[in-house]
Amino acid sequence: MSLNTELYRAAGYSLREMNNLQCFLALYEDIHWITLNHETGIYELTLDNQIFSTFRACPAHFIELYVRGLTLKGTGGRSWYLEFGILFHKMIELYYKTFRTPGFILQEWAVNTGIEEWNKQNLDFFSDHKEYKLIGGRMGFIGLLIAYAERFSAENERIRVIGTEISFGKAHEVSLGFGKANNTRYLEVFLSGRMDLLVDDGNSIAPMDHKTMASFRNDPTLKFELDEGPCGYIYAVNQILPTFLKEHNLEHLINRSCNKIIMNFISKSIPKEGERFKRIPILKSTEQLESYRLRMLDTAEDIFKCLVRYVDNGIVYRNTSACTNWYMHDCTYLPIHRQNSKANELIMIDAMYEKKTIWNTENVGGE
Ligand code: SF4
């Protein structure tokens, strides 16, 4: 079935807007997060927490990154924070897969595999980055892994790992529902993401997430208790759990509660006093999870509207309060958006940016 334009008309979108959108998406196939469902004739959005939060922070940033795919030349679009996070998560997944097996050798995991993975990702590329120096480069990273394994050794660790690397997304595992206008369902929305670990602590089945931070200046939970990311993981576990338990012959765990996420906070720098690792649960009620779902659905509808408007007339809202404070830095797209004409914007793009394939959340880890 092709696009149901009648239905979109009923939802308030013109034929011209829908035709423009179809042509645009046919031209830019790497915009992976929107696809047409040929059975229903409506668009599906598969969105991860990063896409949601970028859009909320500034719709124009979202368009530059997730629609136009613009990244700064020279950096190759690389980010220390992102790549260090991916490497650390990968090492932790490997740890929890093997740490209770008889063949586990700490040295092999932390030193040999740690260095191999560090080099594979070429993290020495960031040797001038202040956090690279703070952590002490590759050898500091190995030290961090060893300290983690000592703190959460097989003897100390109370949890049982029941799943690793659990991805969800385009296979429709985690539905957020339908976008509706004028009583017409015109959009179906799915959450995508990837959990490091799913664990059983005896009372609950919970995702376990790791957050590496430069240091613990305040209570790290304060930063994440209202963050939509952890809430999204708890929501996702509730949706995928029955199928997961069945597939893994763990149906006897079906009555465990599923209302929390276990956060492991890791300080990249070695603190002068106190611990380098903090493990704190964040709990969400059923009401909070439903409210999360409705917020994400609302944002997804705004994302769709924003895309339609951008394709139709090039207009996109800007959050100018974030231009010089994009996570405490200048926004990557400031050099474009400070230009006084479209022509100058294009000159700037040509000089400073390149088009990259749009980040696909389902390819985390590159495998
Ligand atoms: S420069 Fe400002 S308006 Fe432009 S994308 Fe960045 S935050 Fe948004």
Q: Does residue 320 line the site of ligand 1, with CB under 6 A?
A: yes
Q: Does residue 206 line the site of ligand 1, with CB under 6 A?
A: no
Its pTM surpasses 0.75: yes
Of ligand 1's listed atoms, the one at least distance from the Cα of 338 is: 1
pLDDT of residue 92: 93
Q: Does residue 331 line the site of ligand 1, with CB under 6 A?
A: yes
Give the C-alpha distances (Å, rounded to integers) separating 44 from 82, 171, 289: 27, 11, 21
The 10s digit of each residue's pLDDT in 303-356 is 999 999 999 999 999 999 999 999 778 999 999 999 999 999 999 999 999 888
Q: What angle do CA 336, 341, 347 make, to 5 degrees?
A: 55
Q: Does residue 333 line the site of ligand 1, with CB under 6 A?
A: yes
Question: How far apart are the CA of 314 and the centre of ligand 1, in A?
Answer: 15
* DSSP per-residue letters across 232-271: HHHHHHHHHHHHHHHHTT-GGGTTSB--EEEEEEEESSPP
Query: Which residues of the chain are modeled with pLDDT < 70?
Result: 75-77, 359, 361-367
Q: Which residue's CA is the closest to the ligand 1 atom numbered 7?
A: 323
* Distance from C-alpha of 243 to C-alpha of 187, rounded to nearest angstrom: 25
Of ligand 1's listed atoms, the one at least distance from the Cα of 60 is: 5
Question: How far apart are the CA of 41 and the centre of ligand 1, in A?
Answer: 34
pLDDT of residue 365: 40
pLDDT of residue 273: 76
Fill in the DSSP letter of residue 204.
B
The percentage of the chain sitting over the pLDDT mark of 70, rounded to a whole number, equals 97
Of ligand 1's listed atoms, the one at least distance from the Cα of 332 is: 6
Tokens of 295: 């917020």
Question: How far apart are the CA of 337 and the centre of ligand 1, in A?
Answer: 7
Q: Do residues 294 and 243 lie in contact, with contact meaning Cβ atoms separated by under 8 Å?
A: no
Question: How far apart are the CA of 170 and the centre of ligand 1, in A?
Answer: 29
Q: Does residue 318 line the site of ligand 1, with CB under 6 A?
A: yes
Q: Does residue 337 line the site of ligand 1, with CB under 6 A?
A: yes
Q: Which residue's CA is the closest to the ligand 1 atom numbered 1?
A: 334
pLDDT of residue 361: 61
Neighbouring-strand partners of residue 47:
191
